[in-house]
Each structure stands twice: as C-alpha cells, then as structure tokens.
Amino acid sequence: MFAGFMINAWVTATIVAVVAGVVGYFVVLRGEAFPAHAIPKGAFAGAAGAALLGISTLIGLAVFSLLGALAIGTLGRRGRNDVVTALTLVMMLALGAAFLSRTTQYEPEIYSLLFGEILGVSASQILPITVLAAVCLAAVAAFYRPLTLTSVVPEIAEARGIRGRRVEIAFLIVLALATTMTVPVTGALLIFSLMIGPPAAARSLTSRPGLAMILSVAIALVTVWAAIAASYLYNWPVGFFVGALAALSYGTGRAWAAWRRTRARALSGRDSQLIAQATGRAG
Amino acid sequence: MHQLSTAVFGPGFFTSPQVHVAASIGAIVAVVSAVTGVFTVMRGQSFAGHALGDVSAAGGSGALLLGLTPLPGFVGAGIAGAGVMDMIGVQRLRGRDLATGIVLGAAIGLSALFLYLGATSGSATGATQQILFGSIFTIPPGTVAAVAILGALALACIGAVARPLLLATLSPDIAAARGAPVRLVGLLFMLALAVSVALSALAIGAILSTALLIGPAAAALRVTTTVPRALVTACLTGVAATWLGILLSYDSYYWGAGHQALPVSFFIVAIIFVTYLATGLPGARAARRRAPATTAAAAADQDGIAA
C-alpha cells in the first residue's frame, strides 16, 4: 500500500490530519460543530459548479467555502447562529443540486466530492494543499490569543477590546481554507468528523491547551492513517472508516473521562474515610 | 387571460398526475416540517434537525441496498438516530453539538458505505442523487397515503407534548420544578422530529429537508408575536414555497431550448432562503419586539442555545 500511486494519498492525508487536529481543537472549544459541518458541505456545491465550468474543483471549493463562511459570520448575530448556518448550508447545496442537474456528470463525480476519493489526489494538487495548510496554521498561530480568549471567556475578551465578531469571521475563514484543502481527500461530508472526534477525545484526556492540541493532531493522524490503510485493504470507502474511527475516539474519550470521574469520587470517598479515622470521628 | 395562464403554468401542469402527487406530498411535508420546525428553532436544535436528515440518508441508502423503497429506511434510521442522540445527551447543553456531530459523522460514514456497496453491486443507479436531493416528481402515488399517516402521527405526537414542551423550552427550571417530564418530552419531540425529517427527505432529499424544517419556522418566528401565529405563518410559508417551487421546476423544463428542468428542491430552498432574508429587513422585524414567547425564541435564536 506504499506503492508510488499511494504516496500522494499518504502525504496529503498527513497534512489534512495536522490541519484538522489544530483547527478542530478550536471548533470543539468554540462549540462550532455545525459550521464545521456546514462549510465543507456547502463547498461541495462550489466544486460541482467548478466542474461544470471546467475549472479546477479546488477553486470552486475555495470560493464557496469562503462565501459560506462570510454568510454565516455576517448574517448570524452575536457569534454563532444555528438557523443562519442551516439556511446558508442548504442554499449552497441547492445551488449544487442545480449545477449537477445541468451536467451529464457521472455519479462517481458527485460521490467522490461528497465522500472523498483518496486515490484521486494528483501530485499537482499537493503543492496548493500544502500552501493552504501552511496559511491555515499560520493564521491560527497569529491570532491564537484572541481566538482562545473569545472562545473561553468571551465577556473578558470584549472588555479587553477584542471584537468577538471579527475573530469569529476570521476563524470561519480559516475553517473555509481548511475545508478547501481537505475535501479532495476525505470528501465534503466527512472532514468535520476529523475536526470533531479527535479534538473532543483529546480534550477528554487533558485540559491543558497545548497538550490537547498535540493530542488532537496525534489522534487525527492515527485516524486518517488507519482509515486509508483499511480502505486500501478492504476497498470500502475511506469516509466510512473516518466516521467510524472518529466516533470511536470520541466514545473512548468520554468513557475515559467518565471513568476518571468515578475514580476521583471513589478516591475522595476513601480519603475522607482515612481522615475520619485519623481524627477519630465516624466516616 | 388564457395566454397569461399558459405563460405562468406550463402546459399540462394542472392535469399531470405527477404534479398532483408532488403537490400533495409537498403540502403534507411542508406543514409537518413547519410545525416541527417552530419548536426546533425555539429549542435551538437546528443542528440536530439537520443531522437527522443525513442520518435518514444513511437509512435511505441502506434501504435501497436491501431492495426496499427509501421511505422505511428514512424513517427507521431517523428514529434510531434520534434515540442515540438522546441517549448520548443532546438535550443537555454542554457538548450537545459534539454528540450530534459524532452521530452525524458516523451516519455519513454508513451512507458512504451503503452507496458504495449499492454502486458496486450494480443495483441502485442514480441512488446518490435520489437519496440526497429527492425526486418529488417520481414518487409513486401509493406513497401519499403513507406520508399522510406518518405526518399525522408526527403532528399528533407534537400536539400531545406541546404544552410541557413549550414550558421546558422557555423555562426549563420552572418545568423541572413543576415536575414536568422534561427528559421524556424532549425525547418524544426528537422522535417526532425524526419522522418529520424523514418525510421531507423523501420529498426534497435528505440534505435539503433542513430548509423546509428551519426556514419557514425561523422566518415566522421573526415576524410574529405568539407561538400559535408563528405556527400558522410557518405552515403557510412552507406550503407556498413548496407549491411555487413545484410550479417553477415544472415550468423550467420549457425554458430555453435545453428541455432540462431545474430540480424542485433548488427552487424551494431558494424561495425559503430569500423569504428568510426578507424577514431580516427593518420593516419586518418591528413585530418581534413585543411578545414574551417569541422574544425568548429570538434570544435563543441569537445565542444558538435553548432559552
């Protein structure tokens, strides 16, 4: 599975996992799972339109994901707004449906845009994907502090003069960029699984931000690699394994957190018993 | 007059049996979605509503794989999905959207698998498009009865829990203090939501069912002052958008020389989107400032959380 034609897939998947792990950390922190789902899905419509016009699908993805990000950011009031996200999403999808009806594209095209086609990534796409990834990561690094502040303590951030709306729009744009580079690999419908499952698991394991981000990337890498390997071996779609493994990592994270809580309660129960014994009082 | 009427309504529009079926199913689906949608928007569960659409899609593609029609798959998967979401705890605010997202991701993964298996086994051609975007003009007439019954069941379920549901939505603490079965009511609502979404998935596709669910309801909540008025307005808006969409799609077949119609779902969603934007215009929003019921909904709408 490491033959020449698979190298592209491995390289791209690694880049995708790193970006998904980092950006996904903030998606989970900010509770923005819906936009993380909506923007890639809407971008699919752009890719369909681009294919119709004979342009690179990457450009179609970029344009529509940015449009989606801006629509959600500006139409929504005070940060996230589920209704606007939902309607923006379906409007872009409806456009995609209209585009698709105009073409005689074969089904596999739609399928691979939606669910990803790991073997479809050509060597020529690796450079733009890497550049976009670098831009995403640089952007996150650049406004890491305002981003974290507005995510965790929005009122304090406002008091310090950080405009929550601007940070929100900027973050959505980063999400749009991340989308553009990842859709060819995992497909429009599943990239967000990578942005939710691994980071959520990471946050269940630790509350320290730096460590959580590293864990998030690590879990995302494992998820994507395992998905590609499994897809190669069993011929089932990569997306299926991504969705399943993301759910697995999320579930494991929650189980771990629940186990730690029970253990902490048991321990504190034992501690209070010991203290009671030591002080001679009934436990 | 006759000239005008043929210009607006394409030839054979009123006599076409497919149009009759489409209009009937469309109207039922629009009403059920609108009523469910008003509560969905008020509870801030738009993501769950959308997610159930994709979960339905997984069921639909699974059903096709087994050689069944999509509808039982839509409904079955929707109910299962709603149950799982409730179990993981989508009713509690913290981490709610994560739980929804994970269920959604897993369901999409299953969709990918089923559609792939279907394509390679050579059975369901055009399956992807049908499941995801609907095929309202090709629904067999016998389905209308099933849709009507399921729609009535969903509405009855919501009607039964409407009062405790409203209380739990607007004032969860008071509801709990009064001993209202908040958890159970929430679950029943989710089940009704699942059925509603499954029905509209049949009509305009799993992906676009969200539009009929959220759009008319959100628009209505922005311009009306009480919940009953919002319900009526949402229904009227939904049915109007659906029928207009069917008409435009039918007509679009005759536009230009291509003889290729634009999909119904596209028109319906576009109309709904524009309507929602229109309710954001200054004049339309004046009515919102007055009533407590929809003010709480507006606050929920703004923050994206249940009031």
Q: Which of A16, A19, A2 has its CA nearest to residue A184?
A: A16
Domain-embedded: residue B122: yes
Q: Which of B46, B125, B193, B265 to mutate to test the interface with A (most CBs of A within 10 A)?
A: B46
Q: What is the pLDDT along chain A (283 residues), one digit of tens a residue?
A: 667 777 888 888 899 899 999 999 999 988 888 999 889 888 887 887 787 777 777 788 888 999 999 998 888 765 447 888 898 888 888 888 787 777 665 556 666 777 777 666 777 778 888 888 999 999 999 988 888 888 888 788 878 887 878 888 899 999 998 888 777 777 777 788 889 999 999 998 888 888 999 999 999 999 989 988 888 888 888 888 888 999 999 889 888 888 888 888 877 777 777 777 777 655 4
Domain boundaries, position B199: 15-303
Q: Which of A74, A78, A83, A250 to mutate to test the interface with B (most CBs of B within 10 A)?
A: A83
- pLDDT, residue B294, reads 45
Domain-embedded: residue B81: yes
Q: Please report which confidence band the pLDDT of residue B93 belongs to, taking 50, 70 and 90 as the band edges.
A: low
Average pLDDT over residues B190-195: 92
- CA A222 vs CA A21, A61, A197, A245, B203: distances in Å: 11, 26, 12, 9, 39
Phi and psi torsions of B17, nearest 5° = -65, -35
Domain count, chain B: 1
Interchain CB distance below 8 Å, A33 and B98: yes
Domain-embedded: residue B4: no
Confidence check: pLDDT of B194 > 90: yes
Q: Report how far apart the first and last C-alpha atoms of chain B are (Å, whole number).
A: 51
User: Chain A, 121-180: which have a CB under 8 Å from a chain B CB?
Assistant: none
Tens digits of residue pLDDT in B61-74: 888 888 888 788 88
Confidence check: pLDDT of B37 > 60: yes
Domain-embedded: residue B2: no
Tens digits of residue pLDDT in B77-91: 999 999 888 887 655
- pLDDT, residue A109, reads 64
Mean pLDDT computed over every residue of chain B: 80
Q: Which of A30, A72, A82 to mutate to test the interface with B (most CBs of B within 10 A)?
A: A82
3-state secondary structure of B112: helix
Nearest to B116 among A79, A83, A237 (CB): A237
Question: Can you state the angle between helices B227-252 and B17-42, rounded to 10 degrees?
Answer: 150
Q: Is the separation of the CB atoms in B54 and B208 below 8 Å?
A: no
Q: What is the CATH number of the domain that holds B76?
A: 1.10.3470.10
Domain-embedded: residue B10: no
Q: Which of A137, A188, A157 has its CA nearest to residue A30?
A: A157
Q: Which residue has the higher pLDDT, B197 or A125?
A: B197
Helix (H) or strand (E) holding B180, with range, is none
- Domains of chain A are 4-279 (1.10.3470.10)
Q: Please check whether residue A98 touches B, CB under 8 A.
A: yes
Q: Is the separation of the CB atoms in A187 and A115 below 8 Å?
A: yes
Confidence check: pLDDT of B22 > 70: yes
**Rounded percentage of chain B residues whose pLDDT exceeds 70:** 79
Q: Is the separation of the CB atoms in B47 and B97 below 8 Å?
A: yes
- pLDDT, residue A207, reads 83
Residues of B in contact with A81 (CB under 8 A): 301-302, 304
ipTM reported for the complex, 2 dp: 0.82
Average pLDDT over residues B248-257: 80
Angle (CA) B222 B227 B233, round 5°:
60
- pLDDT, residue B306, reads 38
- pLDDT, residue B87, reads 81
Domain-embedded: residue B177: yes
- pLDDT, residue A269, reads 72
Interchain CB distance below 8 Å, B214 and A89: no
Interchain CB distance below 8 Å, A101 and B302: no
- pLDDT, residue B288, reads 54
Q: Which of B68, B72, B100, B69 has its CA nearest to residue B84?
A: B100
Domain-embedded: residue B3: no
Domain-embedded: residue B280: yes
* Lookup: tokens for A190: 């599943």
Residues of B in contact with A83 (CB under 8 A): 41, 46, 214, 218, 276, 301
